Amino acid sequence: MNSTGYRVPDYPLVNGDKFTIIILTHDRDKILRQVLAWYGKMAKVDRIIVYWNNPERTPPNFSQELRLNVSLIIEAVNITNLGERFRPNPNIRTNGEYLY
């Protein structure tokens, strides 16, 4: 714990000015492509994590199509649950998160 009483993460944090984008989606390829293209070029974004919430379909691979300035992590989840975006994730290296 630090002086404010918050738990300090066990993993290394990146520059405190950056934040992580977290997206939960289900078959919204067109919108997802637009969102990734927009946020993927922002200097303040460390990485984008997409929770693909459709076990019936493989998530699209936009990282080759889009030229992003950030890491894109797509995680397929087997349950349909809006709360999935709130679970702890070791891929988050920032104190700030933006839930889309």
Does residue 11 form part of some domain? no
Does residue 12 form part of some domain? no
**3-class SS at 22?**
strand
DSSP assigned state of 43 = T
Query: For the chain, what is the domain count?
Result: 1
Does residue 5 form part of some domain? no
Domain span at 25: 19-99
- Between CA 78 and CA 83 the distance in angstroms is 13
What does the pLDDT read at residue 45?
Answer: 94
Does residue 52 form part of some domain? yes
What does the pLDDT read at residue 2?
Answer: 47
What does the pLDDT read at residue 11?
Answer: 56
Per-residue pLDDT of the chain (100 residues; tens, 9 = 90+): 445 554 555 555 666 789 999 999 888 889 999 999 999 999 999 999 999 888 888 888 887 788 888 999 998 887 766 777 777 888 988 888 888 8
What does the pLDDT read at residue 42?
Answer: 92
Q: What is the pTM of this model?
A: 0.80
Q: Nearest CA to 10 among 98, 87, 90? A: 90
